[in-house]
Amino acid sequence: MSKESKTKFITQDILKSSIKGAFTKLNPRYMMKNPVMFVVEIGFAITLLLCFFPNIFGDEGNNLRLYNGIVSVILFITVLFANFAEAVAEGRGKAQAQSLKKTQKDMQARILSDDGKETVMSASVLKKGNVVLVKAGEVIPNDGEVIEGIASVDESAITGESAPVLKESGGDFASVTGGTTVVSDWLKIRITSNPGESFLDKMISLVEGASRKKTPNEIALNTLLVSLTIIFLIVIVTLYPIAVYSGVRLQISTLIALTVCLIPTTIGGLLSAIGIAGIDRVTRFNVIAMSGKAVEACGDVDTMILDKTGTITYGNRMASQFIPVGNASEQDLIRYAVISSLKDDTPEGKSVVELGERLSGKHQEAIPDAEFIEFTAQTRMSGVNLLDGTRIRKGAYDAIQKYIQELGGPIPKDLETRVNEVSKLGGTPLVVCAGSRIFGVIYLKDTIKSGLVERFARLRAIGIKTVMCTGDNPLTAATIAQEAGVDSFIAECKPEDKIKAIKAEQSEGKVVAMTGDGTNDAPALAQADVGIAMNSGTSAAKEAANMVDLDSDPTKILDVVEIGKQLLITRGSLTTFSIANDVAKYFAIIPAMFMAVIPQMKVLNIMGLSTPYSAILSALIFNAIIIPCLIPLAMRGVKYKPQRSEKMLSHNMLIYGLGGIVAPFIGIKIIDLIITPLLSVLGL
């Protein structure tokens, strides 16, 4: 999670906005959305009233006004800390939205007309289908597709990644995003979205959206917290007559303080922050989640269905091997293949040049005055005519065979065998000839994206099954599936087959994730519980998915799954810690309150707290300060390692369950030692 570590936890601007947000969120209409903290706010209001009218409920005692005031201040701070935690999480998203908005300001576009004339206009007038020219140092005005040129593009404004990305026509990285900057050369771009509908616009509305919908898990946990709050309110109400019967006079402020200490205020104060931070962490990995529900669903994924082309493979067949035929040498084959591809701008042609230069160790210079022959559907071959009369061609087996026969040249006996071998491996054979002689075959294969094998192995360790969907024949599909390291595959797969596969897994109660980049993937992306579209893919795919990977890197799936699991684990761990806290505070406070009239309860006063007042206030102070102490953990999440769920549960129960019980005993005792002298001075 390197990208996350690069991000500063809290900046000065976020701190200022969070402090302001902590006070603005005190509005009761807003606080009602969080029932646990709303109870604390009501308690603050009552104790504040008791500061001015200490005997309004018939309370008796020394320095009641001062005691009520101290309780009131602590409760107020508790609510502020809870609001601050949520405001910090929101502030990180809003800071990102502000930086994105700056990117949008005063963008200009160099629009090209059909006759090539340039017109500089505001980017706001751009429409889908317009062609624009963007030069070095200029901002790309809107989402589009590169149709000409090659350039480095700085996408840091969108992705946060400082390293420029190479963009060119064709291939996997032809898609560009509005708001990014061209740092070298130039690009001619065809605009693919109307104003206000760009990816940048959608991203801004997402990260600054104040109306975040609660996820089903959050709603369920919130229901549990409300139930626990009601139970403890009943306990406190029941405790009052018991105390009166025992001869203990409990002030209303004490009962309120006791209530606040016992209800799950820790998780209540951090619940929203955890959810917001989960989406924020996904965003920092250059993945845009359309909802918190999608992030949570990632944590429960059992099966992952991946489209092959553009997801597992680069989407373009790349030169993998040069296979000489007859008595031709490999070096001659490489030389002629490279020369014939020097002006071939297709990804396949570029890969031939790159592989040839890598294997031969030589860089082939451009040949002056050579006539380059482009590929056509009629000839099914391309090549070059040299000045010395040599004609070099590369193309389909049958096309080259016919071409050589017309020239009266021989057909090597092993040519057909080599061509069939490449075809059986699922590759595309390109035959190379010079003059009337055939030199060999170029093996074009679907290249697996780097890092996928290791990532799929890690997914397997987590317990997630991977399934590859492809339109290839079973032989080709099996070869690629084995290379990539997926668990299973579906060959000759049509769009409806992907949906069937997803529904079959879902019918078994499994949560399914689907990745894809094409229009044909859109129905499956919509059907899946988690749909992750590649940013380099089509608009239909991105609209159907509930997540978009800005880097178009399928290995990012693992990061997203781990973040989803981390979110669920963080929420569970902090809930465990909060409830364990409440149990500890219960046994810390009650004995101190009753041991004066029930001496036998001294046995339970493990911490040896000085007085009932110090016990209450120490517990209340600990309850307040533990919330800001846990904010970094809520923001960054509990550390996640791929392991069995039973082991993870026992590990977290030990740390956050047992730790949640032990921490209050230590913390309350330390606070008690500090405040006892102060309370004696104040007469409490």
Q: Which residues are designated catalytic?
A: 307
356's CB contacts (< 8 A; 6+ apart) are: 319, 322, 334, 335, 337, 338, 341, 364
Strand partners, 322: 442
- Ramachandran angles phi, psi of 541, nearest 5°: -65, -45
Task: From 288, 118, 101, select the one nearest 206 (Cα to Cα).
Answer: 288
List the strands of the sheet with 181-182, edge to edge: 165-168, 150-154, 181-182
Measured from the Cβ of residue 281, the count of other Cβ atoms closer than 10 Å reads 28
- Report d(CA 258, CA 469) in Å as an integer: 59
The single-letter code of the amino acid at 159 is: T
Which helix (H) or strand (E) segment is 121 a member of? strand 118-122
The single-letter code of the amino acid at 544 is: A
Q: Which two tokens stand for residue 655?
A: 């740390």
Is the four-CA dihedral 574, 575, 578, 581 of positive or negative sign? negative
- Report d(CA 94, CA 647) in Å as an integer: 38
Can you list the alpha helix ranges (DSSP code H) found in 595-611?
Answer: none
Task: From 278, 309, 310, select the one nearest 295 (Cα to Cα).
Answer: 278
SS3 of residue 115 by DSSP:
coil
- Report d(CA 230, CA 664) in Å as an integer: 23
The single-letter code of the amino acid at 444 is: L
The single-letter code of the amino acid at 74 is: I
> Within the chain, how many helices (H) and strands (E) appear?
24, 22
- Report d(CA 675, CA 180) in Å as an integer: 56
Residue tagged 């990180």 (tokens): 92
540's CB contacts (< 8 A; 6+ apart) are: 519, 522
Mapping DSSP onto H, E and C, the string for 13-34 reads: HHHHHHHHHHHHCCCHHHHCCC
